[in-house]
């Protein structure tokens, strides 16, 4: 009987010692080591890939897209459609994700796909002008018309075939921070006109902020909208 109690006490003691050692290693030493390595070697990424303006103020993260809209006529109307502020380069649309109607005390960023198939509302594999309301095709047709209207200027007319797919469709998360170089170039004339800048200046800005494929073969060329607009703001003030 005494041996049994003694064995139990030893097992409990061994378990407690193992718990203490593993807690120190996994709960203290390992997190400190990982945090130290991350801060030393990947400081920018470890702190959220922050983007700062010319004054050093953090304006956002390069990993999360931001919207550039005009203030609402009625800030309390969650159904009021957003109106893009045409002074800025616009990101991919994020429509179809809905809005926060559960707890209106907080302004939440909703992330996710529309769950509509690529041919939702299509007839014969194509999106018609009279696509059924509420379908993906209806959203794409309306978005394409808006892109053409918003980006056509007195001296530059945007043609329907000039509109890239990412200008009228949201990403899987709805929070994509990047747009294609084609969509950025499509907006150049409008941005130059709205900010009273020379088109060549804005073209150079887009060129400077166009990133190639990762490692030369992964992904597609892209332009980070927040970084581009931050540089645009600095250029407009200079």
pLDDT in tens, 120-137: 877 777 888 888 887 888
The distance from CA 198 to its chain's CA centroid, rounded to whole angstroms, is 28
First to last CA, the chain: 87
φ and ψ of 111, to 5 deg: -125, 135
Q: What is each CA distance from 88 to 4, 201, 223, 232, in whole angstroms?
A: 77, 14, 14, 8
Average pLDDT estimate for 178-196: 96
- In terms of residues, how long is the chain? 238
Least confident span in 7-21, 56-70, 124-138? 124-138
Cβ–Cβ < 8 Å for 91, 177: yes
Q: What is the pTM of this model?
A: 0.80
Output 109 or 140, whichever has higher pLDDT.
140
Least confident segment among 37-51, 107-121, 143-157: 107-121
Residue 101 is predicted with a pLDDT of 52
Please give the sequence-ordered ranges of beta strands (E in DSSP) within 50-142, or none if there are none.
50-52, 58-61
So what's the pLDDT on residue 105? 54
Cα–Cα distance, 238 to 220 (Å, whole number): 32
pLDDT at 98: 47
DSSP category for residue 125: T
């Amino acid at each position: 009987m005494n041996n049994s109690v003694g064995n139990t006490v030893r097992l409990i003691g061994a378990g407690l010692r193992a718990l203490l050692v593993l807690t120190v290693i996994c709960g203290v030493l390992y997190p400190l080591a990982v945090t130290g390595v991350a801060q030393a070697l990947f400081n920018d990424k470890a702190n959220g890939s922050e983007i700062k303006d010319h004054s050093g103020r953090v304006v956002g993260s390069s990993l999360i897209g931001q919207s550039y809209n005009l203030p609402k006529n009625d800030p309390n109307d969650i159904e009021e459609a957003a109106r893009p502020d045409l002074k800025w380069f616009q990101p991919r649309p994020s429509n179809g994700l809905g809005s926060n109607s559960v707890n209106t005390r907080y302004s939440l960023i909703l992330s996710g796909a529309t769950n509509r198939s690529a041919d939702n509302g299509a007839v014969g594999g194509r999106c018609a002008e009279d696509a059924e309301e509420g379908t993906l095709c209806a959203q794409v047709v309306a978005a394409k018309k808006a892109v053409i209207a918003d980006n056509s200027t007195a001296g530059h007319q945007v043609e329907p075939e000039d509109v890239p797919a990412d200008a009228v469709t949201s990403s899987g998360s709805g929070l994509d921070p990047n747009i294609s170089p084609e969509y950025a170039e499509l907006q150049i004339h409008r941005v130059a006109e709205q900010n009273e800048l020379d088109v060549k200046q804005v073209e150079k800005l887009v060129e400077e902020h166009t990133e190639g494929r990762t490692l030369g073969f992964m992904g597609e060329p892209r332009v980070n909208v927040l970084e581009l607009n931050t540089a645009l703001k600095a250029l407009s003030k200079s």
